């Protein structure tokens, strides 16, 4: 009897191992296991991380209001129109000029990431129909457009694949990854468009590196040859005294000064590429962003833009900056984000519209907000408030 029992136990172990690795789906069907990085977006794990990492009922309600508004604004074809009819706060020029916004791909991918971050996929969740339409639209758009758009779209599809196991997403993710890898500038990072040759830029490189690392976590093979050159290039952009970072090499000659926004982006790159909070460059960036925590304070200055005097917003009310800073601190060490998180909630929660047609949104402020519009800003603010559980 003992021998048979041991034999039975021995024969069961492989099956238990398989069930543990791949998971058990509805009706007993074997399904792909959800990678650990994405496993806290639903259920008890999400509730626990909201509690332990400084979230609140108010932050969760803010996320739900934002998702509800985004769902209502989605075009029937699956995308979000950054300057569509009836949208108060359209995307436009860098300083609010009323020009056509060409960033529907970027905005659609970011909105999709916000739904995925809250646990909704094209297969499951209260907003699965919204996500399904968005996924279908994004599947054919991972090889053309800006590298921002390609990166965000590829990241969204990789996350959807990781959460659902939908094998139809593998090909468009692979195509996006190949496009990004092939578009890297010699000896450095990325800039603007696929196939172009010019000096690498910090914002584009941040988007690409994040997408490549997310895809790796989702189970895709990515050539690691970019990692060391990107970090070396990034080191050359840092102001060693302030910790701020230039937009590109010799940026001052082109009119770019080192900024704290780029420091947050650089911090996120370093976090994704394995540098920890004790790394000398990481410490410099942390010091830079610690001085300018999220604060909803609008400041303007009259400046000459393209030969015309304009009222231009200045300062650190930049949702893009807040998003990258929040994600970087979350990746480096949750203990680092306590003060930042308190400021983030204080800045965002009271400023979300709670009534009327704008309920659930945040006003598009800052340079990037002016370009992407209300959808862009609302997506970024939502992603920032999901940081407690979006990546475990």
Is residue 184 one of the residues assigned to a domain?
A: yes
215 within a domain of the structure (yes/no): yes
CATH assignment at residue 327: 1.50.10.20
3-state secondary structure 27-75: HHCECCCCCHHHCCCCHHHHHHHHHHCCCCHHHHHHHHHHHHHHHHHCC
Residue 87 pLDDT level (bands cut at 50, 70, 90): confident
pLDDT confidence of residue 92: 62
Range of the domain at 323: 2-385
Per-residue pLDDT, averaged over 191-219, amounts to: 93
Examine residue 20 and state whether it is found in any structural domain, yes or no.
yes
pLDDT grade, residue 28 (50/70/90)?
very low
Q: Is residue 338 domain-resident?
A: yes
In a domain, 327, yes or no: yes
Whole-angstrom Cα distance, residue 289 to residue 297? 16
Residue 391, in any domain of the structure = no
Average the pLDDT over 169-174 and give the result.
98
Asked, for residue 280, whether it belongs to a domain, the answer is: yes
Integer Cα distance of 269 and 146 in angstroms = 19
Q: What is the tens place of the pLDDT at every residue in 298-336?
A: 776 776 666 777 666 666 688 999 999 999 999 998 778
Tens of pLDDT, residues 275-303? 999 999 999 999 999 999 999 987 767 76
Mean pLDDT of all residues belonging to the chain: 87
The pLDDT tens digits of the residues spanning 126-156 come to: 999 999 999 999 999 999 999 999 999 999 9
Q: Into how many domains does the chain fold?
A: 1
Flag whether pLDDT at 23 surpasses 60: no
Nearest to 171 by CA among 154, 192, 156: 154
The answer to whether residue 265 sits within a structural domain is: yes
Distance CA 193, CA 173 (A): 18
Site of tokens 């297969």: 123
| Two structure tokens written together for 206 | 């941040």
């Amino acid at each position: 009897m003992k021998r048979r029992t041991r034999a039975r136990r021995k024969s069961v172990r492989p099956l238990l191992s398989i069930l543990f690795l791949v998971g058990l789906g509805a009706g007993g069907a074997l399904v792909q296991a959800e990678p650990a990085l994405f496993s806290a977006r639903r259920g008890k794990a999400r509730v626990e991380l909201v509690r332990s990492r400084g979230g609140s009922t108010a932050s969760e309600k803010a996320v739900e209001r934002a998702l509800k508004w985004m769902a209502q604004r989605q075009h029937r074809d699956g995308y979000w129109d950054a300057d569509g009819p009836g949208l108060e706060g359209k995307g436009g020029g860098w300083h609010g000029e009323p020009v056509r916004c060409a960033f529907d791909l970027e905005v659609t991918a970011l909105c999709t990431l916000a739904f995925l971050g809250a646990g909704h996929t094209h297969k499951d969740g209260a907003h699965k129909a919204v996500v399904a339409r968005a996924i279908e639209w994004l599947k054919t758009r991972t090889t053309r457009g800006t590298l921002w758009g390609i990166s965000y779209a590829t990241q969204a599809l990789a996350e959807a694949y990781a959460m659902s196991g939908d094998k139809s997403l593998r090909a468009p993710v692979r195509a996006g990854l190949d496009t990004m890898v092939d578009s890297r500038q010699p000896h450095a990072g990325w800039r603007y468009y696929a196939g172009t040759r010019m000096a690498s830029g910090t914002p584009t490189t941040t988007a690409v590196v994040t997408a490549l690392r997310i895809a790796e976590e989702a189970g895709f093979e990515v050539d690691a040859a970019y990692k060391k050159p990107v970090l070396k290039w990034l080191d050359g952009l840092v102001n060693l005294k302030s910790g701020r970072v230039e937009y590109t090499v010799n940026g001052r000659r082109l009119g770019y000064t080192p900024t704290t926004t780029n420091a947050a982006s650089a911090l996120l790159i370093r976090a994704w590429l394995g540098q920890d909070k004790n790394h000398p460059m990481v410490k410099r960036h942390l010091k830079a962003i610690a001085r300018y925590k999220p604060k909803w304070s609008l400041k303007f200055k009259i400046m000459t833009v393209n030969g015309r005097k304009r009222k231009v917003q200045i300062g650190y009310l930049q949702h893009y900056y807040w998003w990258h800073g929040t994600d970087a601190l979350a990746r480096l060490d949750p203990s680092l984000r306590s003060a930042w998180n308190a400021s983030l909630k204080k800045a965002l929660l009271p400023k979300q519209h709670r009534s009327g047609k704008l309920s659930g949104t945040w006003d598009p402020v800052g340079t990037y907000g002016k370009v992407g519009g209300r959808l862009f800003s609302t997506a970024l603010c939502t992603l920032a408030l999901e940081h407690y559980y979006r990546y475990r």
